Structure 1
Amino acid sequence: MTIGAHRHRDPLTSPWRRAVAAAAVAASVGFSVVLANPSKADPTGSAVTVSGTATRTNLNADGTKATVETDHITMSVGQTTELRGRELIDVSWSGAHPTGALNSQVHSADAAQYEEYPFVLLECRGTGGDGASAVTPETCWTNSYKERFQSSASTAYPPYRLDAAATATEREVRAGAPAFPASCMSRDLAEHWLPLRAQNGDVFYESSATSPLRPCGTLPPEAKAVESGLPSNDTYGVTQTDGTGSTSFEVTSHSENATLGCSSTVPCSLVAVPILGIGCDATTAGADDDDIAACEANGNYAPGSQWQGAGAPSSQTVTGALWWSASNWQNRLVVPLSFAPDDSVCSLSGDQSSSIAIYGSIPLTEATSQWEPAFCTDPKKFTFQHVQRGDDEARNLLQAGNIEAAFSSRAPDAGWNHPVVQAPVAISGFSVSYTIDDAKGQPYQSLRLTPRLIAKLLSESYYAIPAVQDADPAIAKNPQNITYDPEFIALNPGLPKLNVADYASTLLMLSANADTNWALTSYINADPQARAFLDGAPDPWGMRVNPNYLKIALPVTSWPLNDHTQLANDSQNPCYENSPSDYLQLIAHPTEDPDEIVDAVVFGLPNSQTSCYYDDVNVSTLKLTTSGIPQTPGHRFVLGVTSLAEASRYDLHSAALETADGPDTKSQTGGTFATPSNDSLAIAANLARPDDASGTWPVPYTTLKETAAGRQAYPGTMLIYADVPTTGLAPSDAGKLATLLRFAATAGQSPGLDNGELPPGYLPITKANNLGNLEDYTLKAADAVNNQVGFVPAPSGHDPAPTSIPTTSVDAASVVAQPPPAAVSVPKPAAEPVPAGAAPAAQAVAPQPLTTLASQRVQTADISSMLARIFLPVLCGIVLLAAIAAPLTRRPELLREPGLLVSSMFRNPRVSRGRGGR
């Protein structure tokens, strides 16, 4: 499950858990973990339930009416406000006619044509009523011409021409047809055209003749002429035999679909059309008995049955292809949707020449997408742009002085070459996100992974297909893919073994130099069992690492593809014969685009580049490619590394990661596991120790397992910093960046989905979460950036004494760094045992649903008691140290010894003045 504020209730918000937490806090010395104001970030208040009565009524030949069916339908929509593009909203319904001729791809034109009695869900411009705000079939988005154009070559009276609820115009032989160009070929006996009216006024008429050879129609730019790639959001939902159904519906904004154009200023709606079939007019002149019988048909498939192919056709009159017909459209349910302003408003907010560009950190994107509009729409602020780039690239650009600031999650390996402060602005992390169906075809929701299993996936140690097994004897005795691995099976019972599934042998990740990769491989490297496997030790079942990765040095920001096995030529894959390459690398196929990973997980789209499409004519011009076809629901398996914020926004399941090894034997494997949640991120963040050498708070991967609290910390936790020079910036830009840091430390940590707030997927950096030291540091960093005298405060709070610093960034020969007067104290982690009242470490149990990172109030007893237990000793130690140090501060000559090193944060100051765009 995900961290979305609008989807999951924090277990600590139950009355019993709140009482226990409150008792624990009352016994402590005032420390707690708090995620403020649940109502502010929780859009569940925008959930809507609507009801309506759907009917199908025929007009008999004698002029009497006959009601065929009446259904009382109720539909619930989980969220209707503060929506963002590509957000998934939960939709459920009851009382509908059960669906037959089921199609596995409910977003496809095939489902529209063949499913009988589907529950059709559409995103439409407008909110109801008349005039400009009216919702009509012409303002509803569909992806394929098959959902808007119908023609009949066998009869002039197909069901849609017999619709008793339609007007005479709608029943014409070529209803809605545009003026045809001379080049358009002959017409069928009957046609119905439904135009799509774009938000900008353009009108698209789509038909099967939409091609250069027969230009009888046009496709909108977002539509696809073929059934491949990302599914559209038009949904032909399946109603179960009890009349209920549910699905997740992806809303799109103008950023994804400009033709539809939904935005904070252009209202749209979710429209449900429960298909009951055409109410037929048997008095229609010219229609024969066969035409009337076809119109009045009740379907050829039993409820719940699968479509059997072209040899067993569906009854068109009860299919979703006729959703627009008057008989079906009159039964619609309309739920208005409200979109939050997005960062595209900044492109309309005036002069962009003075905008500040900050490069880096993909995991921060969801936060900055809400922060940017709060700045560009406020006349008292300024415009800044978060330019997504690899973290290494961003740091290198900052080192070279080509940009003014960066977002990243660690310091450069060799340190900064000029004074740069790394101010914490967010806490999030990485997720091993997944879409997996169990042996019963249902979504699996309790995946557990160990560092060794992740290492196996990344090191190309599964042979994936028999041809690789034949070609590479070094891994031939290993499992074919992870579903055959006894370690994986022991941790994840109930999952099927996938035979022809190369995608189950890899983990999709970013190819770019990303700090998410560094964090993931740090997690692997810190685990003794994973490290032993990579160093050549077999696992308890005899599986060994691919020799091409033996003793690989970790961590890394970019995972190398080291296996070069190529397959023997055969006729099974002509594209591969034409362009042979390293096969396991084709399966791994990392991507530079984080959206591709999200799409792969959301839609079950493996990224393996092993598919071959050709026409038997000129295969030499074709290349291996991804399949572009979503996996069939019930048979899906995709793993991908995303950010926690992406997992929250797109409602992705996140794997529970092992936090401490258990017995490593054939009969027992796996230790303790943690899912990303309020508690687990807060614990990890509180255990991070300030490191003055790097100027950051590294997550202590190697020591997390040493305490009970650490074993409950989510190991994918990441701190995200704003990296800003404290010398060399122009005063105006320094002031702007200082303002941004102050915002990020204060108002930017307020959870919510409005502009300027912190969206789900992040843990607020607040004193309420025991993170006041990070908040205070960022405020001190803002002062240092604003002052531009080269001072970089120490994360530990032990700032250096005022120092004369050589500089080339200003005219003066030297400047004096004046540290702010206040130091920040960071408590150390508690030792074992965890105090009474703390939650016990779960021993290899299924992870609980993820909770809201940015909305719920949480009080974590183990952290509270841990900090309370050590606070007084630490305070006493600080006082004692201050007493010892006092003579030295009064007599600085005592410190002037040969070889005294000046902090590396002050060396080689330089001006960095570059800007960049998106």
Structure 2
Amino acid sequence: MSAHDLQRPVPRTEGRVLLVRFGGLLTSVLAAVGLVLLPPAAGGAQAHADTGNGSAVTKSGTKGAYDDFSKLKVTVEQTKDLRTQGLKVSWTGGAPTQPSSQSPFGTNYLQIMQCWGDASTGPTPQQCEFGNPPPKSGVLNGTREVGSHDPQEPTARTVPFTTVKGQTSTDVNQFFTQYATNEQVATTTGADGTGETIFQVEDATQSPILGCGAVAHTGQAPAPCWLVVVPRGTREPDGSTTSLGLLTSALSAGNWAQRMVFRLDFQPTDSPCPIGQAEQPTIGSEMVGEAMSQWQPTLCTADKTTFSYVPQLEDFSRTQVLSGSSGLAGLAFVENPVVPPPDTAAVVHAPVAVSGLVIGYNIQVNGTSRQVPRIRLNARLVAKMLTQSYQCDLPGNTLPRGALPAKNPDSVWNDPEFLKLNEGAGFTRSASCGFGFGVPQSGSDSAEQLWKWLRSDPDAENFLAGKADPWGMTINPSFLRLDPAHTPLSDFQKPDPTAWVPNSEYPNVQITAIGLNPYAASFSDEARTLRKANNGGVAGFAVGSIPPSPTKADTQIPGQYFNLGLTDAASAARYRLGTAELLNADGQFVAPTVDALTKAVDGMKAGQVPGVVNADPSRKTPGAYPLTTVTYAAASTSLDPTQRKTYATLIRYAAGAGQQTGIGYGLLPPGYAPLTPALRDQALASAAALEEGRVPPPTTTGGTSSGGSGTGGTSGTAGTSGGGGTGTGGLAVGGTSTSGGGTAPGGGTGTTGGGTTTGGSPSASPSSSAAAAAGATKGSTGGPSASPPVSNVAQTGGRTPGAVLGAVRWVLLIVLIAGIAGSLAGPLLMRAGTIRGTGRALIPFGGRRAT
């Protein structure tokens, strides 16, 4: 890895209007004309459709002996700065997939695998993780057996697998199992010749057998890997066909010759931070985890401090902030504030991240490898899934299961309420049970916000209290004793005692509800589980084994994925999950877009602790995502001066360069909305107060900030220095904005729109049935929530930074000409704000266009 990769992000392009005096008019005019005519700064006008880091690669296929793939073009959306993550692979110019008598994937499909190897020509078949496909994959040729129907393979044999460390065997179960492999043995092409899939690439931490991103020796670059795509047509390498479809392996020489190879460069899996460097521990909310993973390498190289980060329960993290004990983390990331006891040192709260809790999904369009682009959920549907109220949530081989009422559907995919909200989504309705709703085991501040959202919705609250929905479904009786409608909850209990004993002779061998649908270790773990389409639960017992031995659940059949779970927006973005549109208190179905997260923040009001907003999902804020979170860095003023200064450095970076969206070290990853100007100003003021060991000055929150007023929901809010007046609305493109009405640190001077937040007072949400109808006109289709989801970074929208900068140049020239006229009457002092443009438009700003 080069030294450049570890440096801070390149500063944003700036243009300044200079002081103009009559004697310098000609020079100023020429300079302005040059500003207008100069092209945008390199990279400023780029608007990458997916990840936005400019590393997408497209390759074309070739003509084979019997099948012609020369019109096939395959695009891998990102080939650099990779981690274990979801990766979109799309293609055009293919032949439509055709079923056979034995498989829905008979002919014309792609086989995709991840391989290691450092040769410039790419990997060999021995270096590829392929040949142990998930059970029930429906594909006949997903093996490592070659030698049949291939003239280039005269002898039948099994291609051995060799790990990056040199271990070799034909028994691939020693290295990867059918339950854990990331190979895709068949991906479908539609009637129009196009297709796409999300492939989970894995770095060395998840797949040591491949070693992607590992650094063998200090100073060496991380090990690259490869994505290999083998297109399959209608004939075998010898030209033959069968009614069963294709039988030969992708690793067979004739098929391997048609491969398309993409080099993948990973971030190093070893820490880039110097060994022995001063270290400061941080702890707390997982909502900031993805951001910290990208900020840490830049901080430890540019600022010479290693900030460790340990995801931990916020309640425990708050105790560490208050303990003051040496060796414990002095800074915690929290959504709810740290409240010090009376007569103790004050705690500073600095906002560092805006994100949200999401319902992530991996649901495929029926019979294809495409992900369903849109799912809607109201609070009652989420309450049903959280309370294990569907038959498939409990173990057993007869219906109804446990104490569930017979009227309760098998799964959410059979729930009339879900089907009504998602008519036309095109997913498969399976006749068998799938996986239950995935949740993490530990509680969190964000989970508490989810329960507040459920309790604020009348339909969900009634369901939690035991009332039936319009179709007769009622809550799992085991959850009634929790009384979640009146008891604050911050976790996800599973109190149902139902257990299935498959053999009465062995009563202790049983499957419980938790065994059937295990907890995830974290939000990130749940996102990874959803992407794999396998929750790792126990599905049954081996036939004939004495005593009965449990068997793992099979990975779902390609083309029939249906998985839902609770995760954070950044983890959903990393693994390329869909994110459900949720019904907000204003009656709109809203996705967790940058726009929707920002509007939610602008609508938040001050909480009981100064400087910490109250994230109230019952507040009616048009276009706001209801589960938006603001994460704070909290630290006590009782820390020693060195610690306070070091933590202030972290806060300043997080509120400054760390808010530039992008993929790579030092940047704000997908899944976050940049801090609003008001939050950024608060963070910088809090950093200064922490360093000096004092209480920060009072701050304003939400859409209104000092020095003028701003319309709630726009990023262009006023600065903190109180200077005055109202003016034009702020620009907001790709997550950046200009601010005004005074000087805002890091934001220059400028003007901002008038009016106060559109937030309104807390109010109960409308009924879900009425909201469903309202959603048709007020939801995310053409409504306030129409910008691209933060986690679905495949979409584009809004105006690119380069386009805005180009328009601003003409505005500057007009302003300058007006200044010339005014200067004829005497010297004129003009001052205009710093124009800032982002280097990369990673998370497009769809619904809000700059003017």
**Aligned residues of 1:521 and 1:555 also touching (Cα < 8 A):** yes
Q: Which residue of 2 is the match for residue 420 of structure 1?
A: 347
1:46 is paired with a residue of what secondary structure? coil
Q: Which residue of 2 is the match for residue 374 of structure 1?
A: 298
Shift of 1:412: 4.7
* Code of the aligned partner of 2:352: V
The gaps in structure 2 that reach 5 residues or longer are 1-42, 134-140, 214-220, 702-719, 724-741, 745-753, 762-773, 800-851
Q: Which residue of 2 is the match for residue 345 of structure 1?
A: 271
- Relative to 1, partners in 2 of residues 1:635 and 1:69: Cα closer, same or farther, differing over 3 Å? closer
2:340 and 2:581 map into 1 onto residues whose CA distance is 33
Moved more, 543-552 or 672-681: 543-552
- Relative to 1, partners in 2 of residues 1:642 and 1:138: Cα closer, same or farther, differing over 3 Å? same
Q: Which residue of 2 is the match for residue 511 of structure 1?
A: 441
Q: Which residue of 2 is the match for residue 558 of structure 1?
A: 491
Shift of 1:463: 3.6
Shift of 1:743: 0.5
Match of 1:273 among 208, 225, 230: 230
| 1:204 to 2:195 alignment | no
Shift of 1:725: 1.4
| 1:333 to 2:260 alignment | yes
Shift of 1:452: 1.5
- Relative to 1, partners in 2 of residues 1:49 and 1:343: Cα closer, same or farther, differing over 3 Å? closer
Q: Which residue of 1 is the match for residue 306 of structure 2?
A: 383
- Relative to 1, partners in 2 of residues 1:337 and 1:321: Cα closer, same or farther, differing over 3 Å? closer
Shift of 1:693: 2.5
Match of 1:120 among 111, 126, 130: 111
- Deviations 1:303-354 (Å, cap 9, x if unpaired)? xxx76xxxxxx543xx4241xx2x4444333333343x3563335x2215x3
Q: Which residue of 2 is the match for residue 72 of structure 1?
A: 70
- Relative to 1, partners in 2 of residues 1:843 and 1:832: Cα closer, same or farther, differing over 3 Å? farther
Q: Which residue of 2 is the match for residue 534 of structure 1?
A: 464
Shift of 1:649: 1.6
Q: Which residue of 2 is the match for residue 461 of structure 1?
A: 389
2:335 and 2:167 map into 1 onto residues whose CA distance is 47
* Code of the aligned partner of 1:688: M
| 1:300 to 2:276 alignment | no
- Relative to 1, partners in 2 of residues 1:236 and 1:362: Cα closer, same or farther, differing over 3 Å? same
Query: What aligned pairs does 1:758-907 form with structure 2 within 5 A after superposition?
Result: 758-765=668-675, 771-789=676-694, 791-796=695-700, 828-830=756-758, 843=777, 845=779, 850-852=788-790
Q: Which residue of 2 is the match for residue 604 of structure 1?
A: 533
**Aligned residues of 2:590 and 2:780 also touching (Cα < 8 A):** no
* Code of the aligned partner of 1:489: L
Shift of 1:45: 3.8
Shift of 1:193: 4.5
* Code of the aligned partner of 1:76: V
1:81 and 1:676 map into 2 onto residues whose CA distance is 26
Shift of 1:453: 1.5
2:419 and 2:631 map into 1 onto residues whose CA distance is 35
Query: What aligned pairs does 1:387-536 form with structure 2 within 5 A after superposition?
Result: 387-401=310-324, 402-412=328-338, 418-437=345-364, 443-464=371-392, 470=400, 472-473=402-403, 475-494=405-424, 498-501=430-433, 503=435, 506-536=436-466
Shift of 1:391: 2.2
Q: Higher Cα Rg: structure 1 or 2?
A: 1
* Code of the aligned partner of 1:731: P
Q: Which residue of 1 is the match for residue 848 of structure 2?
A: none
1:247 is paired with a residue of what secondary structure? strand
Q: Which residue of 2 is the match for residue 137 of structure 1?
A: 124
Q: Which residue of 2 is the match for residue 732 of structure 1?
A: 642
Match of 1:618 among 533, 536, 546: 546
- Relative to 1, partners in 2 of residues 1:43 and 1:693: Cα closer, same or farther, differing over 3 Å? closer
Query: What aligned pairs does 1:37-56 form with structure 2 within 5 A after superposition?
Result: 39=46, 43=52, 45-56=54-65
1:460 is paired with a residue of what secondary structure? coil
1:150 and 1:639 map into 2 onto residues whose CA distance is 33
- Relative to 1, partners in 2 of residues 1:364 and 1:539: Cα closer, same or farther, differing over 3 Å? same
- Deviations 1:888-908 (Å, cap 9, x if unpaired)? xxxxxxxxxxxxxxxxxxxxx
Give me the TM-score of the superposition, normalised by structure 1. 0.64
2:505 and 2:569 map into 1 onto residues whose CA distance is 40
2:780 and 2:406 map into 1 onto residues whose CA distance is 32
Shift of 1:139: 7.0
1:234 and 1:636 map into 2 onto residues whose CA distance is 13
Shift of 1:387: 1.1
Shift of 1:681: 1.0
**Aligned residues of 2:353 and 2:630 also touching (Cα < 8 A):** yes
- Deviations 1:617-675 (Å, cap 9, x if unpaired)? 4326x45x651x211133332110111111112111111111137xxxxxxxxx42111
| 1:646 to 2:579 alignment | no
1:522 and 1:510 map into 2 onto residues whose CA distance is 18
Shift of 1:51: 2.3
2:589 and 2:89 map into 1 onto residues whose CA distance is 31
2:362 and 2:317 map into 1 onto residues whose CA distance is 32
| 1:672 to 2:638 alignment | no
Aligned-pair identity in percent equals 26
1:249 is paired with a residue of what secondary structure? strand
2:438 and 2:305 map into 1 onto residues whose CA distance is 37
2:288 is paired with a residue of what secondary structure? helix
**Aligned residues of 2:335 and 2:630 also touching (Cα < 8 A):** yes
Shift of 1:195: 5.5
- Relative to 1, partners in 2 of residues 1:747 and 1:451: Cα closer, same or farther, differing over 3 Å? same
1:656 and 1:764 map into 2 onto residues whose CA distance is 21
2:505 and 2:563 map into 1 onto residues whose CA distance is 26
* Code of the aligned partner of 1:745: A
Query: What aligned pairs does 1:29-178 form with structure 2 within 5 A after superposition?
Result: 39=46, 43=52, 45-56=54-65, 68-95=66-93, 118-125=109-116, 132-137=119-124, 140-144=127-131, 162-163=151-152
**Aligned residues of 2:113 and 2:130 also touching (Cα < 8 A):** no
Equivalences, count: 666
2:232 and 2:289 map into 1 onto residues whose CA distance is 40
**Aligned residues of 2:204 and 2:269 also touching (Cα < 8 A):** no
Q: Which residue of 1 is the match for residue 604 of structure 2?
A: 688
**Aligned residues of 2:585 and 2:626 also touching (Cα < 8 A):** no
Give me the TM-score of the superposition, normalised by structure 2. 0.69
* Code of the aligned partner of 2:589: F
- Deviations 1:61-110 (Å, cap 9, x if unpaired)? xxxxxxx454424323142343322333332334556666679999xxxx
1:714 is paired with a residue of what secondary structure? coil
Cα-Cα RMSD: 4.1
* Code of the aligned partner of 2:197: T
* Code of the aligned partner of 2:162: L
1:589 is paired with a residue of what secondary structure? coil
Shift of 1:597: 1.3
| 1:227 to 2:171 alignment | no
* Code of the aligned partner of 1:456: K
2:596 is paired with a residue of what secondary structure? helix
Moved more, 43-52 or 718-727: 43-52
1:246 and 1:830 map into 2 onto residues whose CA distance is 40
* Code of the aligned partner of 1:136: P
Q: Which residue of 2 is the match for residue 358 of structure 1?
A: 282
- Relative to 1, partners in 2 of residues 1:695 and 1:103: Cα closer, same or farther, differing over 3 Å? farther
- Relative to 1, partners in 2 of residues 1:615 and 1:315: Cα closer, same or farther, differing over 3 Å? closer
- Relative to 1, partners in 2 of residues 1:436 and 1:103: Cα closer, same or farther, differing over 3 Å? farther
Shift of 1:425: 0.2
* Code of the aligned partner of 2:655: A
2:497 and 2:381 map into 1 onto residues whose CA distance is 22
Q: Which residue of 1 is the match for residue 627 of structure 2?
A: 716
1:711 is paired with a residue of what secondary structure? coil
Shift of 1:611: 1.4
Q: Which residue of 2 is the match for residue 593 of structure 1?
A: 522
Shift of 1:587: 4.5
- Deviations 1:379-409 (Å, cap 9, x if unpaired)? x421112212222232233333432111121
- Relative to 1, partners in 2 of residues 1:617 and 1:601: Cα closer, same or farther, differing over 3 Å? closer
Moved more, 268-277 or 394-403: 268-277
Q: Which residue of 2 is the match for residue 862 of structure 1?
A: none
Shift of 1:498: 4.5
Shift of 1:356: 1.5
1:531 is paired with a residue of what secondary structure? helix
